[in-house]
Structure 1
Amino acid sequence: MRTKELRKWLAARGLKCEGCAEKADYVTLCEQNKDAPLLPPEEPPADAGKGKDQSIEDLLASMKGMPGMEGIKMFTADDLKNMNPEQMGASMGGRGGRKSRAEWRDELVDFYSRYGLDDKIAGVDAALDKWKGRESRMFDALYKKYDVEIRAKSDAAAKDEV
């Protein structure tokens, strides 16, 4: 038997090899307990089959670590509640892909212009040099830093529409 099979054999009898470092240790414990009775199989919990009744938090938690789910960001209601519209759009894939420096520059100039931060436009090239290769993170930091200005602009736009 392989070591994994030996561990299963022991577990089926309610035994665990504490301090076993080599396969020989498992074999010795199995030989010493070869007459040990099998434990009855455990019944699954009563709520194990309630897939539809499972809460969203439980579903999201169960998806962590799944192959193919590494790059997927999971949001709770609190995360979304604390985001301004710009952050929400950016987090949900509003921007992405490989952009050239000119495209990042245009986007940064547009950001500063849109929110009345015209005094920052002179430092756009220096910011792009500092954040080279991490421009998406730079925008995440900008959305967080200028959250008050962004919310004020969004609120003003909402009042103008009414």
Structure 2
Amino acid sequence: MSEQALAGTHSDTHRTVRVIISDGNNVLVGRKRSKDRLQPCTGHVEEGETAKEAAVREAKEEMLDSEPNKEALSKVEDGIVREAECRHTQNGSLRHEYTIYGLEVQEPVLDVDEEEFSSLEWRRIDQLVQDHESGKDRLTQNSYKDIKKYREWRKHS
């Protein structure tokens, strides 16, 4: 995908979705091939897509065997702008505007995107945060921030 093909691509900002998939007790994370870090489902909003449509597409492309029901997605937060690594740019880093969704699933069939992840893992959210903070098993930096936001959102929803 070219940088110009990304929807909502301003000269220096890409629109991105993060989908935190949960079975009620655990969250699903992938182990990134490129740097042995953990990350929830994440991807760019493509031209002509809404953020919610991109979230459904990315969940299926990266982690699930079938498309989740988009009505099952809950918006956790919108409009978070931060610097992030990006394979769609020449210098590898760019500003992204994130929309974070939560997706509750029951007994999903998993299907790992082997170009993106070496494996998928169900992890208890508090243990995932604790392991990151202790250096035992690291999330990507922005994923860590968003997992914490999701944890707080779940406490209040």
| TM-score class, shorter | under 0.3
Normalising to structure 2: TM-score of the pair? Answer: 0.23
Answer 1 or 2: which has greater strand percent: 2
Larger Rg: 1
